[in-house]
Structure 1
Amino acid sequence: MLKRLMKLSPYQYTKSTTDGDIFVGKLYGEDVILKDVKVDEITYSKRTREEAEQLRKEFDRSVRKDFLKSLVNDPVKLAEPKNAGISDGDIELMKRGKPPIGWQVHHNLPLDDGGTNAFENLTLIQNHPYHKAITNTQRTLTKGL
């Protein structure tokens, strides 16, 4: 059951440049810029704690591992982590379902906010500063809902 519905617009955090769209988050009061981040207006739907916890357990048990393996077991997808500077040693970790050091699998739309464990809702992201900046923005948008 979904608790609350509300329209959320993250567009105030994006800017168009000659190089494409960028996302501008905040970390310790400073701008953190991420290129090629897709932002959508959504109808916010807050999940019950129980439902979110069940999805989190599923993610921790198998989804994260399967997602990481899918990124490195497909030669086409493998180019992306390599282009992001992930080392061969970290790619070996990913083949075993472990995230590279300093990286994590992120839910684009968080589980407690109506997101799913579908691979389309997951991305591999560097913890500092990018994941922290996105998390700050998500918390700002959903605070008090």
Structure 2
Amino acid sequence: MVAEIDFEKQNAGYNYVHEKRPRPNKDERRANQQKGSAKSAFSPQGKYNADQRKGEFSFDTIHGLKLKEVEYTVPPKKVREDRRAEFSGTREKEGVRSKFLKMLVKEHEAELVEKLSLTDRDLEGMRNGRCPPGLNVHHKQALHGGGKNEFSNFILTPLYPHDQWHHDIMDPQLAGIREGETRTIKIPYTDEMIYDPKKYGFTRENQPVKPNYTSCVNPAKYPNLYKAEHMGVAHRAKTVAPMYAEIDERRKQAEKQKQAQAAAMKAAANRGR
């Protein structure tokens, strides 16, 4: 039996994905995947300056999220895996991400359209628990740092600011952290659950400023869905059309594979009679 695949999950194999740094060898890949296990320290692949590592930034707000000082403790690997599974869900049990998306579209549909210009297909996908292409459900307090799978800890956001929050702000402060270790770091935080593109940019005391680092997140790798000038349902529909085309093609191929496998199993059963 072919496993059922949710092709409308965020990314869906499309070219626009979370920014990945080069991983030169197998050992480094394993270390990065373990992210602070008892055997290895978290080793982000970006290049960071001293200010980033110390959590000293020229701004107090990044893309609408205030920098907030928190205690970041790496839970045991099993706990992290269980919380990730709880978030993602399975065919047998719905994940918290799916429930969050359903809640958003049920209770905040007008805000989703106003802020993120979601299309009818985007909204219908959310009613079925699927994340719209080019967007991601972000944990404000990361699971890796003891965060919980609670709606108040989630924000639906475009991929580009999401990856900046992680790779430019949090990762440099966490380099070398191990399982069980606690650090006081600054994280981007808001009570909002939907990203506001009008707030894109860096500010200090509500005044625009430039970041005091060179970002390791390349905007050329991401769809233009995160600034105010990117908004509009027509623009979003045009931008995500290739993503949905790939989703539809992958679903078609999966259905063909499922039918072929079913036919083969039926033929094998008939031969055995």
TM-score range for the pair, normalised by the shorter chain length: 0.7 to 0.9
Structure 1 unmatched runs, 5+: 16-21, 24-33
Shift of 1:70: 0.4
**Do 1:9 and 1:42's aligned partners in 2 also have CA atoms closer than 8 Å?**
no
| 2:75 is the counterpart of 1:47 | yes
Question: Could you say which residue in structure 2 is the equivalent of 1:63?
Answer: 96
RCO comparison, higher one (Cα < 8 Å, 6+)? 2
Distance of 2:172 and 2:164 partners within structure 1: 11
1:54-85 Cα distance to aligned partner (Å, 9 max, x none)? 000000111000000000111xx222211222
| 1-structure distance, mates of 2:58, 2:119 | 31
Give yes or no for contact 1:71–1:78 (8 Å, CA) kept in 2.
yes
- With over 3 angstroms needed to count, the CA separation of the structure-2 counterparts of 1:142 and 1:123, relative to structure 1, is same
Q: How does 1:1-145 map to 2 (within 5 A)?
A: 10=55, 12=57, 14-15=59-60, 22-23=61-62, 34=63, 36-61=64-89, 62-74=95-107, 77-83=108-114, 84-127=116-159, 129-136=160-167, 137-145=169-177
Find the aligned partners of 1:9 and 1:78 in 2 and give their Cα distance. 39
User: 2:58 and 2:148 mapped to 1: Cα distance?
Assistant: 23
> What is the aligned residue count?
119
Give the 3-state SS of the residue equivalent to 2:74 in structure 1. strand
Helix, strand or coil for the counterpart of 2:156? strand
Q: Which has the larger radius of gyration?
A: 2
Per the TM alignment, residue 50 of structure 1 is displaced from its structure 2 partner at its CA by 0.9
1:113 & 1:85 partners in 2: Cα distance? 32
Larger % of strand: which? 1
SS at match of 1:55: helix
| TM-score normalized by the length of structure 2 | 0.41
Question: Which range is displaced more, 83-92 or 64-73?
Answer: 83-92
User: Offset of 1:53 from its aligned partner?
Assistant: 0.4
Distance 1:81 1:50, change over 3 A: same
Structure 1 vs Structure 2 CA RMSD: 2.0
CA distance in structure 1 between the aligned counterparts of 2:54 and 2:151, rounded to whole angstroms: 23
> What is the CA–CA distance in structure 2 between the aligned matches of 1:113 and 1:119, rounded to whole Å?
17
CA distance in 1 between counterparts of 2:59 and 2:87 reads 29
State the 4+ residue runs in structure 1 displaced beyond 6 angstroms: none
Whichever residue aligns with residue 39 of structure 1, its letter is L
Deviation at 1:89, TM superposition (A): 1.3
* 1:125 partner SS: strand
